């Protein structure tokens, strides 16, 4: 048994989370907020219990991935809104994997929404709100010195492996994993680890039969039943994984 971790100074507030230092310099506490934002925070909302739902979903998914041999920064949930995670230096890239067309790839390349790709599509975006998170080529990543060539290949391989496991997991609960965004960080040993969160805020999840949207698009597009959809995802994951 380790000594109990103490919450220390506030570090940073993002759109959906707050970060705090702890009594252990290699660990931080993440607090999940009830806020929802979209379109680079131009649209704002919230629902009561959202932080708790997303925290529990992330906890289940990161624990599942760990069993599959994919480590992440996740250590443990410590309250209804907080988790302890390993402190990492976030690589400023949003790594996206797409199984079907939706969102920005529909606008950018003209695919019909729902088009099934013959293989997962890997994309990276620059994590920079001021620039509107632009899509990056491999050369852009190099020019901007966002990560080394070697790290880029690690990110791609890890993202595709994560995609395989998540796609299987969601299929088992009759959900189509349309696309998702993940982030990676480097820990104190210089290892690249999956970080941030995996939730209906960061994934597109459709009912496998009806193709009903069960993710943040319900908020983005004012489709209603946002809370109910997030709770349904949690319930299904819980039934499958517990």
Among 50, 73, 216, 218, binds ligand UDP (CB under 6 A): 216
Contact 125, 94 (CB under 8 A): yes
CA nearest 158: which of 129, 201, 134, 124? Answer: 124
How far, in Å, CA of 100 to CA of 111, rounded?
Answer: 9
Contact 93, 125 (CB under 8 A): yes
* Shortest distance in whole angstroms from residue 209 CB to ligand UDP: 20
What residues between 130 and 169 interact with ligand UDP by CB under 6 A? 133
Which contacts of 123-127 are long-range, i.e. CB under 8 A and separated by 24 or more positions?
123/95, 123/96, 123/97, 123/98, 124/93, 124/94, 124/95, 124/96, 124/155, 125/93, 125/94, 125/96, 125/181, 126/92, 126/93, 126/94, 127/90, 127/92, 127/93, 127/94, 127/183
Q: Which is nearer to ligand UDP, 86 or 179 (CB)?
A: 179
> For the window 11-50, what string marks contact with ligand UDP as x by the rule CB under 6 A?
----------------------------------------
HSE of 24 in the Cβ direction (CA atoms, 13 Å)? 14
Among 17, 73, 181, 218, binds ligand UDP (CB under 6 A): 181
Q: From the CB of residue 8, how many other CB atoms can be counted at a distance below 10 Å? A: 14
* Shortest distance in whole angstroms from residue 186 CB to ligand UDP: 20
Kindly state the tokens that stand for 121.
């599509």
Among 203, 226, 232, 233, binds ligand UDP (CB under 6 A): 203
Q: Which is nearer to ligand UDP, 10 or 44 (CB)?
A: 44
Q: Which is nearer to ligand UDP, 176 or 202 (CB)?
A: 202
What residues between 61 and 100 interact with ligand UDP by CB under 6 A? 94, 96
Residue 104 in the binding site for ligand UDP (CB under 6 A): yes
* Shortest distance in whole angstroms from residue 201 CB to ligand UDP: 6
Q: Which is nearer to ligand UDP, 45 or 103 (CB)?
A: 103
Name residue 86's beta-bridge partners. Answer: 27
Kindly state the tokens that stand for 164.
């395989």
Q: Which is nearer to ligand UDP, 133 or 212 (CB)?
A: 133
Q: Which is nearer to ligand UDP, 82 or 179 (CB)?
A: 179
Could you tell me which stretch among 1-9, 138-146, 174-182, 225-233 binds ligand UDP (CB under 6 A)?
174-182
Give the interface with ligand UDP as residue ranges (CB under 6 A).
Answer: 94, 96, 103-105, 133, 179-181, 202-204, 216
């Amino acid at each position: 048994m380790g000594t109990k971790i103490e919450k220390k100074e506030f570090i940073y507030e993002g759109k959906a989370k707050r970060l705090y230092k702890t009594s252990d310099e290699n660990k931080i506490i993440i607090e999940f907020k009830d806020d929802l934002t979209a379109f680079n925070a131009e649209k704002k909302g919230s629902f009561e219990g959202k932080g708790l739902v997303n925290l529990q979903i992330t906890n289940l998914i990161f624990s599942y991935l760990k069993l599959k041999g994919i480590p992440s920064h996740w250590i443990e949930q410590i309250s209804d809104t907080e988790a302890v995670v390993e402190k990492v230096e976030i690589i400023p890239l949003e790594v996206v994997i797409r199984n079907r067309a939706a969102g920005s790839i529909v606008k950018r390349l003209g695919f019909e929404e729902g088009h099934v790709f013959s293989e997962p599509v890997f994309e990276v975006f620059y994590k920079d709100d001021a620039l509107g998170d632009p899509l990056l080529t491999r050369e852009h990543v190099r020019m901007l010195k966002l990560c080394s060539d070697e790290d880029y290949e690690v990110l791609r391989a890890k993202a595709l492996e994560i995609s395989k496991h998540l796609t299987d997991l969601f299929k088992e609960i009759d959900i189509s994993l349309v696309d998702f965004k993940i982030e990676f960080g480097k820990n104190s040993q210089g290892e690249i680890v999956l970080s941030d969160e995996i939730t209906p805020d960061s994934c597109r999840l459709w009912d496998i039969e009806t193709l009903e949207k069960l993710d943040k698009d319900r908020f983005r597009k004012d489709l209603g039943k946002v809370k109910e959809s997030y709770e349904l995802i949690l319930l299904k994951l819980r039934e499958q994984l517990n």
